Protein backbone atom coordinates (compact mmCIF):
# COMPACT_ATOMS: atom_id res chain seq x y z
CA UNK A 1 0.00 0.00 0.00
CA UNK A 2 1.26 3.47 -0.83
CA UNK A 3 0.83 6.65 1.21
CA UNK A 4 -1.52 7.92 -1.47
CA UNK A 5 -3.70 4.84 -1.16
CA UNK A 6 -3.66 5.05 2.62
CA UNK A 7 -4.79 8.67 2.40
CA UNK A 8 -7.64 7.71 0.06
CA UNK A 9 -8.64 4.83 2.28
CA UNK A 10 -8.83 7.06 5.35
CA UNK A 11 -10.74 9.66 3.34
CA UNK A 12 -13.22 7.15 1.93
CA UNK A 13 -13.83 5.52 5.29
CA UNK A 14 -14.28 8.80 7.03
CA UNK A 15 -16.90 9.87 4.49
CA UNK A 16 -18.77 6.59 4.32
CA UNK A 17 -18.79 5.83 8.03
CA UNK A 18 -20.87 8.90 8.82
CA UNK A 19 -23.41 8.38 6.10
CA UNK A 20 -26.34 10.28 7.59
CA UNK A 21 -24.23 13.36 8.31
CA UNK A 22 -22.56 13.22 4.94
CA UNK A 23 -25.87 12.79 3.12
CA UNK A 24 -27.13 15.94 4.84
CA UNK A 25 -24.00 17.80 3.77
CA UNK A 26 -24.22 16.35 0.26
CA UNK A 27 -27.82 17.51 -0.03
CA UNK A 28 -26.80 21.00 1.07
CA UNK A 29 -24.00 21.09 -1.49
CA UNK A 30 -26.32 19.73 -4.19
CA UNK A 31 -28.93 22.39 -3.44
CA UNK A 32 -26.26 25.09 -3.50
CA UNK A 33 -24.84 23.80 -6.78
CA UNK A 34 -28.33 23.47 -8.28
CA UNK A 35 -29.23 27.04 -7.36
CA UNK A 36 -25.87 28.33 -8.61
CA UNK A 37 -26.10 26.43 -11.90
CA UNK A 38 -29.78 27.25 -12.39
CA UNK A 39 -29.61 30.91 -11.49
CA UNK A 40 -26.38 31.57 -13.35
CA UNK A 41 -27.73 29.83 -16.45
CA UNK A 42 -30.81 32.01 -16.30
CA UNK A 43 -28.68 35.05 -15.55
CA UNK A 44 -26.47 34.44 -18.58
CA UNK A 45 -28.97 33.10 -21.05
CA UNK A 46 -32.23 34.87 -20.38
CA UNK A 47 -30.89 38.45 -20.59
CA UNK A 48 -29.35 37.53 -23.93
CA UNK A 49 -32.74 36.25 -25.03
CA UNK A 50 -34.46 39.24 -23.51
CA UNK A 51 -32.27 41.66 -25.40
CA UNK A 52 -33.98 40.38 -28.53
CA UNK A 53 -37.31 40.50 -26.70
CA UNK A 54 -36.67 44.13 -25.77
CA UNK A 55 -36.36 44.95 -29.45
CA UNK A 56 -40.14 44.68 -29.67
CA UNK A 57 -40.19 47.95 -27.71
CA UNK A 58 -38.64 49.80 -30.63
CA UNK A 59 -35.37 50.89 -32.13
CA UNK A 60 -32.52 51.57 -29.80
CA UNK A 61 -30.30 53.43 -32.29
CA UNK A 62 -31.04 56.25 -34.69
CA UNK A 63 -28.82 57.18 -37.61
CA UNK A 64 -28.96 60.74 -38.93
CA UNK A 65 -26.72 62.79 -41.14
CA UNK A 66 -23.66 64.20 -39.42
CA UNK A 67 -24.32 67.62 -40.98
CA UNK A 68 -27.52 69.44 -41.99
CA UNK A 69 -27.74 67.54 -45.28
CA UNK A 70 -30.04 64.57 -45.81
CA UNK A 71 -28.77 61.19 -44.76
CA UNK A 72 -27.43 59.17 -47.68
CA UNK A 73 -29.07 55.75 -47.73
CA UNK A 74 -25.85 54.33 -49.13
CA UNK A 75 -23.90 55.63 -46.10
CA UNK A 76 -26.62 54.39 -43.80
CA UNK A 77 -26.39 50.92 -45.41
CA UNK A 78 -22.61 50.94 -44.84
CA UNK A 79 -23.19 51.90 -41.22
CA UNK A 80 -25.74 49.11 -40.75
CA UNK A 81 -23.28 46.68 -42.33
CA UNK A 82 -20.89 47.44 -39.45
CA UNK A 83 -23.37 46.00 -36.96
CA UNK A 84 -23.13 42.30 -36.06
CA UNK A 85 -25.44 40.44 -38.41
CA UNK A 86 -26.68 38.04 -35.74
CA UNK A 87 -27.75 40.93 -33.49
CA UNK A 88 -29.32 43.16 -36.11
CA UNK A 89 -33.11 42.99 -35.82
CA UNK A 90 -33.92 45.60 -38.44
CA UNK A 91 -33.09 49.03 -39.94
CA UNK A 92 -35.91 51.27 -41.16
CA UNK A 93 -35.39 54.48 -43.13
CA UNK A 94 -37.84 57.35 -42.70
CA UNK A 95 -38.18 60.26 -45.07
CA UNK A 96 -40.60 63.01 -44.15
CA UNK A 97 -42.34 65.22 -46.72
CA UNK A 98 -44.96 67.94 -46.18
CA UNK A 99 -47.84 67.35 -48.63
CA UNK A 100 -51.49 68.19 -48.98
CA UNK A 101 -54.50 65.90 -49.25
CA UNK A 102 -58.01 67.12 -49.79
CA UNK A 103 -56.66 70.64 -49.25
CA UNK A 104 -55.34 69.68 -45.81
CA UNK A 105 -51.65 69.87 -44.92
CA UNK A 106 -50.20 66.51 -44.00
CA UNK A 107 -46.86 64.85 -43.41
CA UNK A 108 -46.16 61.94 -45.74
CA UNK A 109 -43.54 59.49 -44.60
CA UNK A 110 -41.65 57.20 -46.95
CA UNK A 111 -40.39 53.99 -45.41
CA UNK A 112 -39.80 50.28 -45.99
CA UNK A 113 -42.68 48.38 -44.46
CA UNK A 114 -40.93 45.03 -44.31
CA UNK A 115 -38.37 46.69 -41.99
CA UNK A 116 -41.04 48.60 -40.05
CA UNK A 117 -42.54 45.26 -39.03
CA UNK A 118 -39.19 44.36 -37.45
CA UNK A 119 -38.30 47.63 -35.74
CA UNK A 120 -41.84 48.68 -34.73
CA UNK A 121 -43.67 45.42 -34.19
CA UNK A 122 -46.30 47.08 -32.02
CA UNK A 123 -47.85 48.95 -35.01
CA UNK A 124 -51.39 47.76 -35.47
CA UNK A 125 -52.86 48.03 -38.94
CA UNK A 126 -56.59 47.86 -39.62
CA UNK A 127 -56.81 46.61 -43.16
CA UNK A 128 -53.72 45.74 -45.14
CA UNK A 129 -50.11 46.87 -45.17
CA UNK A 130 -49.26 48.86 -48.36
CA UNK A 131 -48.06 46.44 -51.01
CA UNK A 132 -47.29 48.66 -53.97
CA UNK A 133 -46.57 52.22 -54.99
CA UNK A 134 -50.23 53.25 -55.08
CA UNK A 135 -51.27 52.31 -51.58
CA UNK A 136 -50.58 53.97 -48.27
CA UNK A 137 -51.13 53.62 -44.56
CA UNK A 138 -53.16 56.41 -42.95
CA UNK A 139 -52.48 57.29 -39.33
CA UNK A 140 -55.59 56.86 -37.15
CA UNK A 141 -55.91 60.61 -36.45
CA UNK A 142 -55.59 61.46 -40.14
CA UNK A 143 -58.09 58.75 -41.07
CA UNK A 144 -60.58 59.99 -38.51
CA UNK A 145 -60.18 63.65 -39.49
CA UNK A 146 -60.46 62.96 -43.19
CA UNK A 147 -62.97 60.13 -42.98
CA UNK A 148 -60.59 57.60 -44.48
CA UNK A 149 -60.88 53.85 -44.30
CA UNK A 150 -59.24 50.93 -46.10
CA UNK A 151 -60.06 50.98 -49.83
CA UNK A 152 -60.81 54.72 -50.03
CA UNK A 153 -58.86 56.95 -52.39
CA UNK A 154 -56.70 59.91 -51.42
CA UNK A 155 -54.93 62.44 -53.63
CA UNK A 156 -51.51 63.44 -52.39
CA UNK A 157 -50.12 66.64 -53.84
CA UNK A 158 -47.27 69.06 -53.22
CA UNK A 159 -44.03 70.40 -54.59
CA UNK A 160 -40.99 68.26 -55.17
CA UNK A 161 -37.39 69.08 -54.18
CA UNK A 162 -37.00 71.10 -57.36
CA UNK A 163 -40.18 73.10 -56.71
CA UNK A 164 -42.29 71.40 -59.38
CA UNK A 165 -45.86 70.39 -58.51
CA UNK A 166 -46.84 66.73 -58.18
CA UNK A 167 -50.10 64.96 -57.57
CA UNK A 168 -50.69 61.27 -57.02
CA UNK A 169 -53.90 59.31 -56.63
CA UNK A 170 -53.44 56.70 -53.90
CA UNK A 171 -55.57 54.15 -52.06
CA UNK A 172 -55.71 53.66 -48.31
CA UNK A 173 -54.57 50.09 -47.66
CA UNK A 174 -54.91 50.29 -43.92
CA UNK A 175 -55.33 52.52 -40.89
CA UNK A 176 -52.42 52.67 -38.49
CA UNK A 177 -52.80 52.68 -34.72
CA UNK A 178 -49.70 53.11 -32.56
CA UNK A 179 -50.86 55.36 -29.75
CA UNK A 180 -48.05 57.69 -30.77
CA UNK A 181 -47.33 60.57 -33.17
CA UNK A 182 -47.32 58.11 -36.10
CA UNK A 183 -51.13 58.42 -36.10
CA UNK A 184 -50.75 61.96 -37.46
CA UNK A 185 -48.91 60.84 -40.61
CA UNK A 186 -49.54 58.93 -43.79
CA UNK A 187 -46.99 56.25 -44.66
CA UNK A 188 -46.06 55.07 -48.13
CA UNK A 189 -43.30 53.00 -49.66
CA UNK A 190 -40.04 54.93 -49.80
CA UNK A 191 -39.58 54.54 -53.58
CA UNK A 192 -43.03 56.09 -54.09
CA UNK A 193 -42.09 59.14 -52.04
CA UNK A 194 -38.71 59.35 -53.76
CA UNK A 195 -40.49 59.34 -57.10
CA UNK A 196 -42.82 62.14 -56.00
CA UNK A 197 -40.19 64.25 -54.25
CA UNK A 198 -37.15 63.48 -56.42
CA UNK A 199 -33.67 63.40 -54.85
CA UNK A 200 -33.68 59.60 -54.39
CA UNK A 201 -31.30 57.68 -52.10
CA UNK A 202 -31.75 59.89 -49.03
CA UNK A 203 -33.70 59.76 -45.78
CA UNK A 204 -34.11 61.94 -42.72
CA UNK A 205 -33.21 59.17 -40.37
CA UNK A 206 -32.82 55.42 -40.08
CA UNK A 207 -34.11 53.66 -37.00
CA UNK A 208 -32.03 50.63 -36.10
CA UNK A 209 -32.87 47.85 -33.70
CA UNK A 210 -29.89 45.88 -32.37
CA UNK A 211 -30.19 43.07 -29.84
CA UNK A 212 -27.51 44.13 -27.39
CA UNK A 213 -27.02 45.94 -24.11
CA UNK A 214 -26.40 49.64 -23.68
CA UNK A 215 -22.64 49.30 -23.32
CA UNK A 216 -22.24 47.29 -26.48
CA UNK A 217 -24.58 49.66 -28.27
CA UNK A 218 -22.38 52.59 -27.27
CA UNK A 219 -19.35 50.75 -28.63
CA UNK A 220 -21.13 50.05 -31.90
CA UNK A 221 -22.11 53.72 -32.16
CA UNK A 222 -18.50 54.72 -31.65
CA UNK A 223 -17.42 52.28 -34.31
CA UNK A 224 -19.90 53.73 -36.84
CA UNK A 225 -18.87 57.29 -35.94
CA UNK A 226 -15.23 56.37 -36.51
CA UNK A 227 -15.74 54.52 -39.78
CA UNK A 228 -18.35 56.68 -41.49
CA UNK A 229 -17.98 60.35 -40.77
CA UNK A 230 -21.16 61.39 -42.61
CA UNK A 231 -23.40 59.35 -40.32
CA UNK A 232 -24.25 60.39 -36.77
CA UNK A 233 -25.44 57.42 -34.70
CA UNK A 234 -27.03 57.89 -31.31
CA UNK A 235 -28.59 55.55 -28.78
CA UNK A 236 -32.23 55.96 -27.85
CA UNK A 237 -31.46 56.50 -24.19
CA UNK A 238 -34.98 56.01 -22.92
CA UNK A 239 -35.03 52.51 -24.37
CA UNK A 240 -31.47 51.43 -23.65
CA UNK A 241 -31.43 52.73 -20.08
CA UNK A 242 -34.72 51.08 -19.18
CA UNK A 243 -33.50 47.81 -20.71
CA UNK A 244 -30.27 48.06 -18.74
CA UNK A 245 -32.23 48.85 -15.61
CA UNK A 246 -34.50 45.81 -16.00
CA UNK A 247 -31.59 43.50 -16.74
CA UNK A 248 -29.48 44.90 -13.90
CA UNK A 249 -32.32 44.39 -11.45
CA UNK A 250 -32.89 40.87 -12.71
CA UNK A 251 -29.21 40.05 -12.38
CA UNK A 252 -28.95 41.65 -8.93
CA UNK A 253 -31.92 39.63 -7.74
CA UNK A 254 -30.43 36.42 -9.12
CA UNK A 255 -27.01 37.16 -7.60
CA UNK A 256 -28.56 37.90 -4.21
CA UNK A 257 -30.66 34.74 -4.15
CA UNK A 258 -27.66 32.68 -5.25
CA UNK A 259 -25.38 34.30 -2.67
CA UNK A 260 -27.87 33.66 0.14
CA UNK A 261 -28.28 30.01 -0.86
CA UNK A 262 -24.53 29.52 -1.14
CA UNK A 263 -23.96 31.07 2.29
CA UNK A 264 -26.61 28.74 3.75
CA UNK A 265 -24.91 25.81 2.01
CA UNK A 266 -21.58 26.80 3.51
CA UNK A 267 -23.12 27.08 6.97
CA UNK A 268 -24.67 23.63 6.62
CA UNK A 269 -21.40 22.07 5.42
CA UNK A 270 -19.39 23.86 8.11
CA UNK A 271 -21.79 22.67 10.82
CA UNK A 272 -21.66 19.08 9.57
CA UNK A 273 -17.89 19.08 9.33
CA UNK A 274 -17.57 20.67 12.77
CA UNK A 275 -19.72 17.89 14.21
CA UNK A 276 -17.53 15.33 12.45
CA UNK A 277 -14.41 16.93 13.94
CA UNK A 278 -15.94 16.83 17.42
CA UNK A 279 -16.89 13.19 16.97
CA UNK A 280 -13.38 12.35 15.79
CA UNK A 281 -11.41 14.29 18.39
CA UNK A 282 -9.92 11.11 19.80
CA UNK A 283 -8.84 9.87 16.39
CA UNK A 284 -7.32 13.27 15.59
CA UNK A 285 -5.56 13.28 18.97
CA UNK A 286 -4.20 9.80 18.28
CA UNK A 287 -2.91 10.80 14.86
CA UNK A 288 -1.22 13.84 16.36
CA UNK A 289 0.25 11.68 19.12
CA UNK A 290 1.62 9.39 16.43
CA UNK A 291 3.31 12.39 14.84
CA UNK A 292 0.81 13.75 12.33
CA UNK A 293 1.66 17.32 11.38
CA UNK A 294 -1.08 19.93 11.39
CA UNK A 295 -0.99 20.12 7.62
CA UNK A 296 -1.58 16.36 7.39
CA UNK A 297 -4.67 16.67 9.58
CA UNK A 298 -5.80 19.73 7.60
CA UNK A 299 -5.18 17.83 4.35
CA UNK A 300 -7.43 15.00 5.44
CA UNK A 301 -10.34 17.27 6.28
CA UNK A 302 -9.78 19.44 3.23
CA UNK A 303 -9.81 16.28 1.12
CA UNK A 304 -13.11 15.33 2.68
CA UNK A 305 -14.47 18.78 1.93
CA UNK A 306 -13.35 18.63 -1.70
CA UNK A 307 -14.82 15.13 -2.16
CA UNK A 308 -18.04 16.28 -0.55
CA UNK A 309 -18.13 19.37 -2.78
CA UNK A 310 -17.47 17.45 -5.97
CA UNK A 311 -19.84 14.61 -5.14
CA UNK A 312 -22.64 16.99 -4.16
CA UNK A 313 -22.06 19.35 -7.06
CA UNK A 314 -22.52 16.84 -9.87
CA UNK A 315 -26.16 15.91 -9.15
CA UNK A 316 -26.77 19.52 -8.09
CA UNK A 317 -25.52 20.84 -11.40
CA UNK A 318 -27.70 18.39 -13.34
CA UNK A 319 -30.68 19.41 -11.23
CA UNK A 320 -29.82 23.09 -11.66
CA UNK A 321 -29.71 22.78 -15.40
CA UNK A 322 -33.10 21.07 -15.46
CA UNK A 323 -34.40 23.81 -13.16
CA UNK A 324 -33.05 26.53 -15.44
CA UNK A 325 -34.56 24.78 -18.45
CA UNK A 326 -37.94 24.52 -16.74
CA UNK A 327 -37.84 28.19 -15.67
CA UNK A 328 -36.72 29.24 -19.15
CA UNK A 329 -39.61 27.39 -20.77
CA UNK A 330 -42.35 28.19 -18.27
CA UNK A 331 -41.46 31.74 -17.23
CA UNK A 332 -39.58 33.21 -20.17
CA UNK A 333 -40.85 30.92 -22.93
CA UNK A 334 -37.29 30.21 -24.05
CA UNK A 335 -35.28 27.03 -24.50
CA UNK A 336 -32.08 27.47 -22.54
CA UNK A 337 -28.96 26.04 -24.12
CA UNK A 338 -26.48 23.88 -22.17
CA UNK A 339 -23.42 25.93 -21.27
CA UNK A 340 -20.36 23.73 -20.56
CA UNK A 341 -18.26 26.64 -19.24
CA UNK A 342 -20.95 27.56 -16.75
CA UNK A 343 -21.19 23.91 -15.69
CA UNK A 344 -17.45 23.78 -15.09
CA UNK A 345 -17.66 27.07 -13.18
CA UNK A 346 -20.51 25.68 -11.05
CA UNK A 347 -18.45 22.57 -10.26
CA UNK A 348 -15.41 24.62 -9.31
CA UNK A 349 -17.35 27.20 -7.30
CA UNK A 350 -19.36 24.59 -5.38
CA UNK A 351 -16.26 22.55 -4.63
CA UNK A 352 -14.26 25.62 -3.63
CA UNK A 353 -17.05 26.90 -1.38
CA UNK A 354 -17.43 23.49 0.27
CA UNK A 355 -13.68 23.43 0.86
CA UNK A 356 -13.87 26.98 2.22
CA UNK A 357 -16.66 25.90 4.57
CA UNK A 358 -14.19 23.39 6.03
CA UNK A 359 -11.80 26.11 7.18
CA UNK A 360 -13.30 26.51 10.64
CA UNK A 361 -13.66 22.76 11.25
CA UNK A 362 -10.05 22.33 10.10
CA UNK A 363 -8.93 24.97 12.59
CA UNK A 364 -10.79 23.07 15.28
CA UNK A 365 -9.18 19.80 14.15
CA UNK A 366 -5.61 21.10 14.23
CA UNK A 367 -6.28 22.63 17.65
CA UNK A 368 -7.00 19.17 19.13
CA UNK A 369 -4.34 18.33 21.71
CA UNK A 370 -2.59 14.99 21.29
CA UNK A 371 -2.52 14.63 25.06
CA UNK A 372 -6.25 13.93 25.19
CA UNK A 373 -5.59 10.31 24.16
CA UNK A 374 -3.85 9.79 27.49
CA UNK A 375 -6.50 11.51 29.55
CA UNK A 376 -9.12 8.88 28.79
CA UNK A 377 -11.65 11.58 27.84
Partner 1 sequence: MDIAAQAANILELRDVSMDYGQVKALQDVSLAVRKGEWLAVMGPSGSGKTTMMNVIGCMDRPTSGEVLLEGQDVARLLPGALTEIRRDRIGLIFQQFHLISYLTALENVMVAQYYHSMIDEAEAMGALERVGLRDRAAHLPRQLSGGEQQRVCIARALINYPRLILADEPTGNLDEANEAIVLSLLRRLHEEGSTIVVVTHSPGVAAQAERTVVLEHGRIAQSFLNR
Burial of 183 (0-12, 13-18, 19+ CB in 10 A): middle
Q: Is 360 in the site for partner 1 (CB under 8 A)?
A: no
Which value, to the nearest 10 degrees, does the dihedral of the CA atoms of residues 76, 82, 84, 87 take? -20
Range 11-30, binding partner 1 (CB under 8 A): 13-14, 17
Angle between helices 340-357 and 294-330 (to 10 degrees): 140
Decide whether 12 or 338 has the Cβ nearer to partner 1. 12
Q: Is 359 in the site for partner 1 (CB under 8 A)?
A: no
Range 260-289, binding partner 1 (CB under 8 A): 282-283, 286-289
Q: How far is the CB of 377 from partner 1 (least distance, A)?
A: 10
Decide whether 5 or 165 has the Cβ nearer to partner 1. 5
Q: Is 163 in the site for partner 1 (CB under 8 A)?
A: no
Decide whether 105 or 291 has the Cβ nearer to partner 1. 291
Decide whether 2 or 330 has the Cβ nearer to partner 1. 2
Q: Is 105 in the site for partner 1 (CB under 8 A)?
A: no
Decide whether 285 or 320 has the Cβ nearer to partner 1. 285
Return the SS3 of 5: helix
Site string for partner 1, 304-333 (x = CB under 8 A): ------------------------------
Per-residue b/e over 14-27, b at no fewer than 16 CB within 10 Å?
bbeebeebbebbbe
Q: How far apart are CA 6 and CA 290, in angstroms?
A: 15
Smallest CA-to-CA distance from 84 within 126, 52, 121 is with 52
254: which residues sit within 8 A by CB, 6+ positions away? Answer: 39, 40, 42, 43
**How many CB atoms sit inside 10 A of residue 12's CB?**
13
Interface residues with partner 1 (CB under 8 A) are 1-3, 6-7, 9-10, 13-14, 17, 282-283, 286-294, 296, 369-371, 373-376
Amino acid sequence: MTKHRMYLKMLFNSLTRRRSRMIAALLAVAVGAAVFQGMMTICCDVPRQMEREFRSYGANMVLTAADDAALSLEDAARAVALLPEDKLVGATPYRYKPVRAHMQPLTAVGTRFEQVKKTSPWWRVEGEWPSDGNTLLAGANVAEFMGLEPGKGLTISGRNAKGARFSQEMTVAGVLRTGGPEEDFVFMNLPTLEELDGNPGTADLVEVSVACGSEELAKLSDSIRREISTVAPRSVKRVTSSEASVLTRLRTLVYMVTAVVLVLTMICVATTMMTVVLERRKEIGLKKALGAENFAIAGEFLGEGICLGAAGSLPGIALGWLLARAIGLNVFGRVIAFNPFLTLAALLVSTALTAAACVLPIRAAVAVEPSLVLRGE
